[in-house]
Amino acid sequence: MKSRLCALRIGALGFVALASVSHAGAPKARSPLLGTWALEVARMPVPAEARPKSVTITFAEADQGKWSTKVDIIDNDGSERHMGSAYTVNGAAVTIEGDQLEADTASVAIPAPRTMIMALAKAAERRPGSTRVYSVSEDRRRMTETAVSWDDNGIPMMRTSYFVRVARK
């Protein structure tokens, strides 16, 4: 009886070890945040003449375990703004390349698979820019951005923007 119990324990340990190896070798699931997202401009709570023509955000995996964000804005007058950065998702601050009208520094964390928190600042002016929380719907087709910023008197304000996933070509 003891030898049978011992054999069962060894067999169970072997199964657990095999399951661990199989799981460790399994491909990592693609984050639902990754991809290109287009702002639903018509849903913006501002007059049509104040809205941009388009805004796209692309979240991608970059080299050495980093991620990158690229933002492309076409204003209603046809002018373009482009900005981006590459970062680790551990909250470390990085420089934003390109247009720095709103911010020149970003830090990013991903506390849950469908949620990203991005803090933006104007480091050159030593002031916060905004904090943005991106959350992807369960069907992975829609993304909501909640942006928190402060007015000139330090009063916090929030706005919500809605994005749809752009199909891969």
Bridge partners (DSSP) of residue 127 are: 122
Q: What is the pTM of this model?
A: 0.81
Bridge partners (DSSP) of residue 108 are: 118
pLDDT tens for 98-131 read 999 999 999 999 999 999 999 999 987 888 899 9
Q: Which residue segments constitute the domains of the chain, with CATH numbers given? A: 35-165 (2.40.128.20)
Q: How confident is the model at residue 77, as a pLDDT?
A: 95
Whether residue 72 is predicted with pLDDT greater than 90 in this model: the reply is yes
Q: How confident is the model at residue 123, as a pLDDT?
A: 83
